[in-house]
């Protein structure tokens, strides 16, 4: 299994949580160390988004293209 990505010229990033365009996909990525995973994501261009339901077990981000994803601690 794997994931593939491609560029989307003209893409309008969503403005989650106040969406102006519908989300196309949302990934929840399971991690064992939330702090380390967040550092990695931020170093690679992610931006933390404070969502409507804060939780100690997951955090929400936008990638450089504006796509929303969550890091979820699993153990």
Return the sign of the alpha-carbon dihedral for residues 61, 2, 56, 44: negative
| Segment 51-70 mean pLDDT | 83
By C-alpha distance, which of 3, 9, 10 is closest to 69? 3
The rounded distance, in Å, linking the Cα atoms of 16 and 62 is 9
Summarize pLDDT for 15-38 with one digit per residue, the tens.
666 665 555 667 888 899 999 999
Are the CB atoms for 70 and 60 separated by under 8 Å?
yes
pTM assigned to the model: 0.67
Are the CB atoms for 42 and 48 separated by under 8 Å?
yes
Which of the following CATH numbers is that of domain 27-73: 3.10.180.10, 3.40.640.10, 1.10.260.40, 3.30.70.260? 3.10.180.10
């Amino acid at each position: 299994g794997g994931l593939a990505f491609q560029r989307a010229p003209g893409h309008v990033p969503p403005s989650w949580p106040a969406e102006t365009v519908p989300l196309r996909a949302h990934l929840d990525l399971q991690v064992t160390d939330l702090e380390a995973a967040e550092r990695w994501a931020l170093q690679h261009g992610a931006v933390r988004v404070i969502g409507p339901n804060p939780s100690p077990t997951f955090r929400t981000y936008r990638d450089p293209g504006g796509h929303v994803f969550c890091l979820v601690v699993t153990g």
